[in-house]
Amino acid sequence: MKKLIIASTSTLHGGGYLEYLLPTLEAHFAGCASLIFIPYARPGGISHDDYTARAAAFFTKLNITVKGIHEFADPITALTDAEAVFTGGGNTFLLVSQLHKTGVMGALIEAIDRGVPYLGSSAGSNICGLTMQTTNDMPIVYPPSFKTLGAIPFNLNPHYLDPQPGSTHMGETRETRIKEFHQFNTQPVLGLREGSWLEVNGNTVLLKGDLQARLFRYGMEPVEVDAGSDLSGVK
């Protein structure tokens, strides 16, 4: 049975790394003594080792030891034996490129399908959708495929931002970008605001946190979805 926490962000303004999710993660990773961290997205170009150390420092609070997937000679076998997995944020193009290049994408799909607890934040959440095409990131590398984990039946736009009243910004809004996506693609897209996350248990997908999310569907006007809503049937 699939078991995922899919968070828009790792850090809320004024808070520490993953701090706002601590009670949720205590329950999510209950019984796990070790975790594999996937640092491929490398925010700001941070090294794999330094990024893994950041994750490891947080998980000491849960008495969970962390090892980066880059430290294993065979990352696919590592995922076969994993108790839990966390994919951090950063650049989604880089992350997806590395997941396909190493063969980890397929191994990660298999791990999730057999019920290994998974946490994703930002780019690590973006890959839980059907494709990565609704990321906000710059295409700094060219992945062999935009196809991702397909752990949920729609795409995500983490860090979703609403237009700010009185703003002098003249560029496209997130809503505009997603509507552009729907000129060529039909899958739904969920705009996940900061401080919100999805909790997946089996085929049930629940919106968690205090905020609404914005749901975009092909050929329809976007709608607001209340916290606590079941998004399992979105299509």
Cβ neighbours of 69 (radius 10 Å): 25
Is the pLDDT at 202 greater than 90? The verdict is yes
pLDDT at 13: 87
Q: What is the average pLDDT across 8-35? A: 96
* Beta carbons within 8 Å of 53's beta carbon, 6+ residues apart: none
pLDDT at 235: 85
Is the pLDDT at 225 greater than 70? The verdict is yes
Q: What is the average pLDDT across 138-161? A: 97
Q: Edge-to-edge, what's the strand order for the sheet holding 189-192?
A: 155-158, 189-192, 213-216, 223-225
* Domain 3-225: CATH architecture, name and number where available: 3-Layer(aba) Sandwich (3.40)
* Beta carbons within 8 Å of 218's beta carbon, 6+ residues apart: 182, 185, 186, 187, 188
CA–centroid distance for 156 within its chain: 8
Is the pLDDT at 171 greater than 70? The verdict is no
Q: Summarize pLDDT for 98-133 with one digit per residue, the tens.
A: 999 999 999 999 999 999 999 999 999 999 999 999
pLDDT at 170: 58
Cβ neighbours of 222 (radius 10 Å): 15
Catalytic residues: 122, 137, 159
pLDDT at 118: 98
* Beta carbons within 8 Å of 1's beta carbon, 6+ residues apart: 115, 201, 202
At residue 26's C-alpha, the angle toward residues 70 and 234, to 5°, is: 80
Per the DSSP assignment, residues forming a β-bridge with 84 are none
pLDDT bucket at 67, cuts 50 / 70 / 90: very high
Region for 168 from its dihedrals, namely left if φ exceeds 0, alpha if ψ lies in -120 to 50, beta otherwise = alpha
Q: What is the average pLDDT across 5-22? A: 96
Q: How far is residue 165's CA from residue 43's CA, in Å, rounded to a whole number? A: 30
Q: How far is residue 125's CA from residue 157's CA, in Å, rounded to a whole number? A: 9
Q: Summarize pLDDT for 179-194 with one digit per residue, the tens.
A: 999 999 999 999 999 9
- The fraction of the chain above a pLDDT of 90, given in percent, is 94
Q: How far is residue 98's CA from residue 80's CA, in Å, rounded to a whole number? A: 18
Is the pLDDT at 169 greater than 80? The verdict is no
The residue extents of the domains of the chain are 3-225
